[in-house]
């Protein structure tokens, strides 16, 4: 494993992080704006919920292939697919977070003379943080997992060494185990990082389980 | 890896033509995939459902359920299939086991959450009415956990059907055979198979939603939006 760190594993890990980070950043921005809009305009969440659940059933490998005639083969195609999946996960979570403020709390905020904007930034957003981070955890871990499938399309990321190893008549175990362990390790590290972030941002939050 | 020097929107029309020209072939492949998925899902249900129900009923082992869900989510399907391949070799058994492992997580956590989360007062009331433990399990806890049981089943089924094509690089059969073999089927065939995979997982999803609506008692029907949202924990 050490021999191949520099020529195979390190670049693959860095590419994997890049693919994931870009997808999460774009997906989060879009999901956040959409959730803010949906929060204002009520009664759109149930149709959106069902549509997004249906979209989430699209297998990643199929989505990657289907995008090819439209956007060609490249990082762009992979990112579009990854962003789509993060959107589907993040949007309902951010919206649920924004709507998690108890009615009496909102009533009190209004009674104190807060404007709509102030209620959003000082009451609803802080209260939404735990659910938003919960959504981010699922999104980041899923994106890391889905990004390994990108190797079917692109010689990038931790999936690629595995993909190559599987093409051999007798699959190379070292590549499979080391790249696989890195992918799992990366996912768990990111997940724990987000849990840490939640402790930092909302120390009062206690999960029931 | 696929090559797309010639890929453009016409390829899409070619893909649709491919479906029109080879419906029997694609249907056979789809059935192969359903067979593999069904076997994997069956194994996962046999293991995870009783375990999740038992742990949830006795309110024990929440760490097992949470741990399974976290590890299960962090394990990329490609890694899982590849790792099992080095142990079990290429073929149906390897892919069935790998897919079964993938399906175990959502079924176990959701059945645990379902039975663990049943209102204690309801159970207490049932006991007060003289119901036996088995009656409580079947007539109180089971119907109340139904939404979560189905959420788990749906996630597991869609995951398995959607991941089965990836197993094709490990000799899995099914529509994935076409997807990973651009040399024989050209890009049009690859796209056609991808479209079929999409349709297949959407059908499985909708079929399970329908089944859930059928078996859920009238008094327990809730808004669907809530049940579909991704669980944050």
Cβ proximity of B92 and B172 under 8 Å: yes
Instruction: Tell me how many degrees the CA angle A32-A35-A38 measures, rounded to the nearest 5.
Output: 155
pLDDT digits over A159-190, tens only?
888 888 887 777 677 888 888 999 999 999 99
pLDDT digits over A133-163, tens only?
999 999 999 999 999 988 888 888 898 888 8
User: How much is the mean pLDDT over chain A?
Assistant: 86
* One-character DSSP codes across A39-106: HHS-S-HHHHHHHHHHHHTS-HHHHHHHHHHHH-SSHHHHHHHHHHHHHHHHHHHHHHHHTTS-HHHH
Instruction: Tell me how many degrees the CA angle A180-A181-A183 measures, rounded to the nearest 5.
Output: 65
pLDDT at B233 over 60: no
The answer to whether B22 contacts chain A (CB < 8 Å) is: no
How many domains does chain A fold into?
Answer: 1
Interchain CB distance below 8 Å, A62 and B198: yes
Tell me if A92 is assigned to some domain: yes
Q: How far is A169 from chain B (nearest CA, A)?
A: 10
pLDDT digits over A108-121, tens only?
999 999 998 899 98
Range B87-98 average pLDDT: 83
The answer to whether B78 contacts chain A (CB < 8 Å) is: yes
Tell me if A194 is assigned to some domain: yes
Tell me if A207 is assigned to some domain: no
Which pLDDT belongs to residue A64? 87
Note down the domain range covering A11.
5-201
Whole-model pTM: value is 0.82
Gap between the Cα atoms of B8 and B19, Å rounded: 18
SS3 B140: helix
Which pLDDT belongs to residue A4? 65
Which pLDDT belongs to residue B225? 42
A199 vs A159, A203, A207, B231, CA distance in Å?
32, 5, 11, 19
Range A47-66 average pLDDT: 82
The answer to whether A189 contacts chain B (CB < 8 Å) is: no
pLDDT at A48 over 80: no
Q: How far is A71 from chain B (nearest CA, A)?
A: 8
CATH number, span B27-219 = 1.10.3720.10
Tell me if A149 is assigned to some domain: yes
Tell me if A209 is assigned to some domain: no
pLDDT at A63 over 80: yes
Which pLDDT belongs to residue A171? 67
Gap between the Cα atoms of A45 and A95, Å rounded: 8
Higher pLDDT, A94 or A40: A94
- The CATH number assigned to the domain holding A70 equals 1.10.3720.10
Gap between the Cα atoms of B180 and A62, Å rounded: 11
pLDDT digits over B190-226, tens only?
888 889 999 999 999 999 989 988 887 777 665 444 4
CB nearest to A69's CB, from B11, B85, B86: B11
Tell me if A102 is assigned to some domain: yes
Which pLDDT belongs to residue A189? 92
The answer to whether B213 contacts chain A (CB < 8 Å) is: no
Q: Which residues contact A185 (CB under 8 A, 6 or more apart)?
A: none
In which residue are the tokens 């696929």 written?
Answer: B2
Which pLDDT belongs to residue B229? 43
Q: How far is B130 from chain A (nearest CA, A)?
A: 31
């Amino acid at each position: 494993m050490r021999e191949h760190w520099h020529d195979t594993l390190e670049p693959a890990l860095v590419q994997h992080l890049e693919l994931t980070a870009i997808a999460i950043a774009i997906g989060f921005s879009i999901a956040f704006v959409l959730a803010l809009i949906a929060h204002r305009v009520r009664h759109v969440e149930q149709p959106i919920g069902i549509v997004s659940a249906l979209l989430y059933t699209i297998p990643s490998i199929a989505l990657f292939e289907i995008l090819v005639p439209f956007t060609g083969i490249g990082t762009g195609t992979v990112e579009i697919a990854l962003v789509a999946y993060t959107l589907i996960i993040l949007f309902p979570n951010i919206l649920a977070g924004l709507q998690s403020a108890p009615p009496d709390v909102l009533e009190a905020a209004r009674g104190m003379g807060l404007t709509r904007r102030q209620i959003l930034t000082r009451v609803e957003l802080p209260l939404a943080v735990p659910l938003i981070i919960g959504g981010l955890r699922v999104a980041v871990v899923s994106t890391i997992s889905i990004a390994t499938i990108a190797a079917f399309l692109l010689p990038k990321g931790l999936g690629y060494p595995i993909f190559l190893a599987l093409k051999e008549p007798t699959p190379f175990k070292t590549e499979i185990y080391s790249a696989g362990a890195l992918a799992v390790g990366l996912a768990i590290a990111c997940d724990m990082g987000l849990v840490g972030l939640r402790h930092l941002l909302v120390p009062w939050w206690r999960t029931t389980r | 890896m696929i090559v797309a020097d010639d890929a453009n929107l016409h390829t899409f029309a070619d893909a649709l033509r491919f479906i029109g020209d080879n419906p029997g072939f694609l249907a056979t492949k789809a059935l192969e995939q359903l067979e593999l998925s069904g076997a994997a899902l069956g194994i996962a249900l046999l293991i995870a459902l009783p375990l999740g129900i038992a742990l949830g009923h006795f309110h024990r082992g929440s760490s097992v359920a949470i741990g399974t869900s976290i590890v299960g989510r962090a394990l990329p399907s490609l890694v899982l299939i590849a790792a099992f391949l080095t142990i079990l070799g290429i073929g149906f058994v390897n892919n069935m086991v790998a897919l079964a492992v993938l399906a175990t997580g959502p079924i176990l956590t959701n059945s645990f959450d379902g039975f663990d989360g049943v209102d204690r007062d309801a159970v207490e009331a049932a006991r007060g009415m003289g119901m036996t433990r088995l009656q409580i399990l079947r007539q109180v806890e089971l119907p109340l956990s139904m939404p979560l049981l189905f959420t788990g089943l749906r996630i597991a089924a869609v995951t398995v059907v959607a991941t089965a094509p990836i197993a094709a690089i490990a000799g899995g059969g099914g529509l994935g055979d076409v997807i990973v073999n651009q040399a024989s089927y050209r890009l049009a065939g690859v796209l056609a198979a991808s479209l079929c995979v999409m349709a297949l997982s959407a059908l499985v999803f909708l079929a399970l939603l329908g089944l859930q609506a059928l078996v859920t008692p009238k008094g327990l029907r809730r808004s669907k939006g809530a049940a579909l949202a991704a669980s944050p924990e």
